[in-house]
Structure 1
Amino acid sequence: MPFLNIQRDGSIVTVTMDQPETRNALTGNTAVQEFVQLCDDVRKDTGIKVLILTASGAVFSSGGNVKDMRRFFDDALLPDVIREEYRQGIQRIPRALMELDVPVICAVNGPAVGAGLDLACMCDIRICSETATFAESFVRVGIVPGDGGAWLLPRAVGMAKASEMAFTGEAIDARDALACGLVSRVVPTEQLLRTARALAAKIAANPGAVMRMTKRLLREGERGTLDSVLELSAACQAIAHKTADHREAVTAFIEKRTPRFY
């Protein structure tokens, strides 16, 4: 069975991790390949404006499959082989998601543990249910964040909070996640997808091409200098001024009507 259940409603795509029997683990299955293929497909389809990522069952994602980790006990499996497995395996997910120009809303329905938390941090906007919890728990099973969590989590919550979570491995609840900025909203469980879809609809009402460039500028702003971001902004703005959507937006503003974007 596929790991991802993908449904499209106009310009909004809802992606559901759908292996609740494994607590939506990201290893030991086809999750990596499916995420990479999804991002490739979405990147090529200019009709898609927003992606919603959520999960079925009571758990968002347990991250790596801990039972599968026993195979690393084999002395014949050398460190350089394991390193390459990470490079060609789970590390392909953050590379794919971080290069995706379409805004991604993560609707966390339950515990997000280890790589599951890091997966949520790869998204642009995170909202969660009241039952959600978050744990950077790698240290508790004697490993480090191998999927980019050391880069992702500090950018979501700040270095001090990220260090506390990574060094203790303890989980925080939805209220604490809201307080530290890990999520922007906490809603009752039954309202989670409804809230995510309403937010997606607000985003999708805007011009798609400009939205993609805006996300690219925000991503560049995380790692670039002011000069590099200004230069890229000037280039993107030159393109934006020549789009049909910009012409329609300005015309609609002057005519005092709702713009019609395509």
Structure 2
Amino acid sequence: MSEAEPQPVLFSREGEHLAIITLNRPESRNPLDQDTQDALIAAIHRLDTEPGIRVAILTGAGTAFSSGGNVRRMSAAASGPAERTPAQSRQYYRHGIQRIPLAIERCEVPIIAAVNGPAMGAGCDLACMCDLRIAAESARFAESFVKLGITPGDGGAWLLPRVVGFAKASEMALTGDPLSAAEALACGLVSRVVPDAELMDAARAIAARIAANPPQAVRMTRRLLREAWNNRLETVLEFSAAMQAVAHTTADHKEAMAALREKRKPVFRGE
């Protein structure tokens, strides 16, 4: 990326506790190319390392959330995936886009996907990597890999069934057909649909509700929810007991109980 080119991902802070991550290649509908992958992973890492961040919003610049893979580069005769050996392609995915779901999984800060337009292929999967999703009325979603004669290389076959259920995920992945925002709401892919002009305000409102809670309890609850995706009940109960033991010792827990007794608004400091 030359110095004249815009940053592929923007990172900004709003107020004390909110971070906004914006995919910033609107002219090409925010593809998840190598530069964007690197910048997005760096932004996700900042969520855990910058003091005070309690919640983040991920969105796209322009009229698209993300078009997914860069189809132009994919079809380039000299450098496209078809020219790589299978071993090279395996490493390309492992050290490329597959880093994103792992980075989001490890992040402790909840991430809200504000889907402002089409979320196609890997763009749809990126939305599924987030903790919750709200959509503008113009948003569309497609697990469209099959249309290009390929499969989800970014973890979509693991992510999508956990969000919409196996049958709906199968329909989406095997047909590759897009869903409207209303259809995405009906199957649970998103939790809310709002007019385009209201999307970021709606995302900020949800973020504020999350940020108002004790931040350590929010982080531990997010971790429990993530672990519960993959483990048996007995394992999750054991993990829950350990997390709860830690939560009981926090100053924010004591503040919450005191505020409840005193009938006042609590002040949480993340301690």
TM-score by length of 1: 0.97
Structure 1 unaligned spans of 5+: none
Instruction: Please say if residues 21 and 43 of structure 2, whose CA atoms lie closer than 8 Å, have aligned partners that are also in contact.
Output: no
- C-alpha spacing 1:255/1:56, structure 2 compared with 1 (3 Å): same
Q: Give, as a single letter, the amino acid of the residue that structure 2 aligns with 1:207.
A: P
Instruction: Please say if residues 46 and 208 of structure 1, whose CA atoms lie closer than 8 Å, have aligned partners that are also in contact.
Output: no
Aligned with residue 223 of structure 2, among 212, 216, 230: 216
Structure 2 unaligned spans of 5+: 1-5
Q: State the Cα distance separating 1:33 from its structure 2 match.
A: 1.1
How many pairs does the alignment contain?
260
Instruction: Please say if residues 32 and 89 of structure 1, whose CA atoms lie closer than 8 Å, have aligned partners that are also in contact.
Output: yes
- Name the CA distance, whole Å, in 2 between partners of 1:15 and 1:40: 12
Aligned with residue 15 of structure 1, among 18, 21, 31: 21
Q: Which residue of 2 aligns with 1:33?
A: 38
Q: State the Cα distance separating 1:45 from its structure 2 match.
A: 3.2
- C-alpha spacing 1:206/1:74, structure 2 compared with 1 (3 Å): closer
1:125-181 Cα shifts (integer Å, max 9, x gaps):
100010100000001111100000000000110010000011111001011000000
Give the percent of matched residue pairs that are identical in Structure 1 and Structure 2: 54
1:196-207 counterparts in 2 under 5 A? 196-207=203-214
1:57-72 counterparts in 2 under 5 A? 57-70=62-75, 71-72=79-80
Q: Give, as a single letter, the amino acid of the residue that structure 2 aligns with 1:219.
A: R
Instruction: Please say if residues 46 and 209 of structure 1, whose CA atoms lie closer than 8 Å, have aligned partners that are also in contact.
Output: no
Q: Which residue of 2 aligns with 1:241?
A: 248
Aligned with residue 177 of structure 1, among 161, 165, 184: 184
Q: State the Cα distance separating 1:46 from its structure 2 match.
A: 4.7
- Name the CA distance, whole Å, in 1 between partners of 2:141 and 2:228: 26
- Name the CA distance, whole Å, in 2 between partners of 1:73 and 1:42: 32
- Name the CA distance, whole Å, in 2 between partners of 1:227 and 1:217: 13
- How large is the RMSD of aligned CA atoms in angstroms? 1.1
Q: State the Cα distance separating 1:44 from its structure 2 match.
A: 2.5
1:186-197 counterparts in 2 under 5 A? 186-197=193-204
* Secondary structure of the corresponding residue to residue 113 of structure 2: strand
Q: State the Cα distance separating 1:74 from its structure 2 match.
A: 5.6
Q: Which residue of 1 aligns with 2:136?
A: 129
Structure 1 moving runs of 4+ over 6 Å: none
- C-alpha spacing 1:101/1:174, structure 2 compared with 1 (3 Å): same
* Secondary structure of the corresponding residue to residue 15 of structure 1: strand
TM-score by length of 2: 0.94
Q: State the Cα distance separating 1:34 from its structure 2 match.
A: 1.3
1:43-70 Cα shifts (integer Å, max 9, x gaps):
2235110010011111110000111112
Q: Which residue of 1 aligns with 2:3?
A: none
Q: Which residue of 1 aligns with 2:89?
A: 82
Q: Which residue of 2 aligns with 1:120?
A: 127
* Secondary structure of the corresponding residue to residue 52 of structure 1: strand
Q: Give, as a single letter, the amino acid of the residue that structure 2 aligns with 1:13.
A: A
Instruction: Please say if residues 81 and 89 of structure 2, whose CA atoms lie closer than 8 Å, have aligned partners that are also in contact.
Output: no
